[in-house]
Structures are given as structure tokens and as C-alpha cells.
Amino acid sequence: MEKFRYLILLFLILMLVAGCAPAQKGTPIKTESSNDFYVKYYYSSKVDHIVIEIKNNKLNSSSVNENKLDAHWDQNPSWTKEDLDTNEKNLTTNEVGKLKNLIKNSDFFKLNDIEGVKKKGQKYEASTLTVNLDGKTKTVEYRYNTGGPEMPKSLDSILNMLYNLAELGQ
């Protein structure tokens, strides 16, 4: 019985050592660099859902198709996963360059982490924009309420360009 315990212990040690062994040479592990260009816009409410994500030159978007939503509105007045349309496209170097320049030349990186409604207890809808550009990362949440503070111009201009690139009406 004692030998059996030692065999199990030896087996467990070998498994642990094998699990900690370094990856084989020649097997590159892809990691995202802090210098990669990345943009993600997210907005969701009861009737709308929009995600626009750009990694380097690839754009992915997801949004509610109003025709699908209208088909079940009387029974279920909120969007479902089946109501979403997703699209993927490669952006041209020119399109990516224009977006990067817009972000660089705006005051996006100077914005507060939270813009718009800031009073506790006040109701609002929120959207977020995250940008990773030239080693800097910033996430801004814009909180909207009727009659509340307007969206900062830099954020508005970036979102307009994102909507255009994703071919979504605003």
C-alpha cells in the first residue's frame, strides 16, 4: 500500500512538471501588443444594441435590425439575439489613417472617464468608447439623459466616423 501511495505521488509530480514545461520552440504565441490599434464602441438599451469593434484594420459590428424587432414588438418589446445583424469588413489603410488622425487631433484622451450625467440617482443611458492608440488606452463612458449635458464634440465626431465605417445609420 505504501508503494502505491509513492507511485501516485510520483505520477502527480510528473503531471505538475509536465504542465509547467515551457512551450516548444517554434510555436509562436500571439498576444495583443499595447501598440496595436483598437477601438470598441458599445451601446445597449431595451430597443437598441450596437457594438462596433476595430482591431488594426478589421471592423466587426453588431446591431439590431429594426425589421426583425418590429416583427415581435407586440409580444416582446425588447431586442433579442435573433434581432441582431453582424457584419465584418476590412478597412483600407486610408480609412484607418483618417480614424487615427481624428482621434489624435481630437481631445478624446483628455476627456473624463465619465461624461454627461454625473449626479447620483439620476437616470441615464450609457455608451462607452475604448481606444488603444500609440500605446495609450482610454475608455470614456457617456451618460445620456433627455435635457442632460450634450456629448463632447470629440466623442461625437469619432462616433459619427465609426457609424459611417460600419455603415450604420445614426
Over residues 33-55, mean pLDDT: 86
Q: How far apart are the first and last CA of the chain?
A: 73
pLDDT at site 138: 96
pLDDT at site 64: 80
In this structure, the number of other CB atoms found within 10 A of the CB of residue 61 comes to 22
pLDDT at site 39: 97
pLDDT at site 77: 76
Domain ranges within the chain, ordered by starting residue: 38-165
Is the pLDDT at 68 greater than 70? The verdict is: yes
Is the pLDDT at 55 greater than 90? The verdict is: yes
Topology of the domain covering 38-165: Mago nashi protein (3.30.1560)
Is the pLDDT at 132 greater than 70? The verdict is: yes
Q: Is 149 helix (H, G, I), strand (E, B) or coil?
A: coil
Sort strands 114-116 and 136-144 into parallel, antiparallel or unpaired: parallel
Q: Is 131 helix (H, G, I), strand (E, B) or coil?
A: strand
Is the pLDDT at 22 greater than 80? The verdict is: no
CA distance 100 to 94: 10
Q: 18 or 58: which carries more pLDDT confidence?
A: 58
CA distance 43 to 125: 9
